[in-house]
Structure 1
Amino acid sequence: MKYTERIRMLRENNNLTQQFIANLLHIGQRTYCDYESGKTRIPLDSIIILAKYYNVSLDYITGVSNIQNEYPLK
């Protein structure tokens, strides 16, 4: 699964709007829409914020793994 599909699935499974996630990332809704559609690559720091927010590993959110492990604690 591509990361674009994964971030959309996570958002929808948590009943969140693109605007809510855009606010979390301090970006515009249109920019976040472009992330989900694959028009714009999402920056690594934004992926980390999403992984922490959804409490999933970076491997899961980026599509490297299909196992939904929790975000690692320090």
Structure 2
Amino acid sequence: MDFMTRLYDLREEIDMKQKDLAAMLTIKPSAISKYEKGIAQPSIPTLIKIAEIFHVSMDYLLGLSSVKNPYSTDNFTPKEAEIIAKYRKLTKENQIRIDERLGAMIDSQR
């Protein structure tokens, strides 16, 4: 699937009009139409904003992946989400220690 199809599908999924997306991006509605028809390509900063608006990865938006957001908490079990939340509360120093310990544990499993 390509960018123009993905953009159209994402917009339609949430019932968003071209003019509404254009307003969020501070561009003309005709630009959205051109993107969806494959007549024009958005700039990289605009692509980033589009991905943020729809909460998808750039790879998904560009048609390079079928996974909307590989880092979404929707993909985590409750226990995994709990571990990540705890990890984020640690100082950088302690995060480094955890990373090192995890690496050692993974290496010992091989």
Quote the offset at 1:67 in angstroms: 1.0
Structure 2 counterpart of 1:64, one-letter code: L
Q: Is the 8 A contact 1:2 1:63 kept in 2?
A: yes
For 2:69 and 2:31, the matched residues in 1 are separated by 27
The one-character-per-residue Cα deviations of 1:21-42 (angstroms, maximum 9, x if unpaired) are 0111111111111011111111
Match of 1:23 in 2: 23
**Unmatched 5+ stretches in structure 2:** 73-110
Structure with the bigger RCO (C-alpha within 8 Å, sep 6+) is 1
TM-score (norm 1): 0.89
Question: Taking structure 1 as reference, are residues 68 and 10 closer, same or farther at Cα in structure 2, changes over 3 Å only?
Answer: same
Identity level (%): 31
SS in 2 for 1:10: helix
For 1:50 and 1:71, the matched residues in 2 are separated by 17
User: After the TM superposition, which segments of 4 or more aligned residues of structure 1 sit over 3 Å from their partners?
Assistant: none
**Unmatched 5+ stretches in structure 1:** none
Larger Rg: 2
Structure 1 vs Structure 2 CA RMSD: 1.5
Q: Is the 8 A contact 1:59 1:65 kept in 2?
A: yes
Q: Is the 8 A contact 1:4 1:36 kept in 2?
A: yes
SS in 1 for 2:36: helix
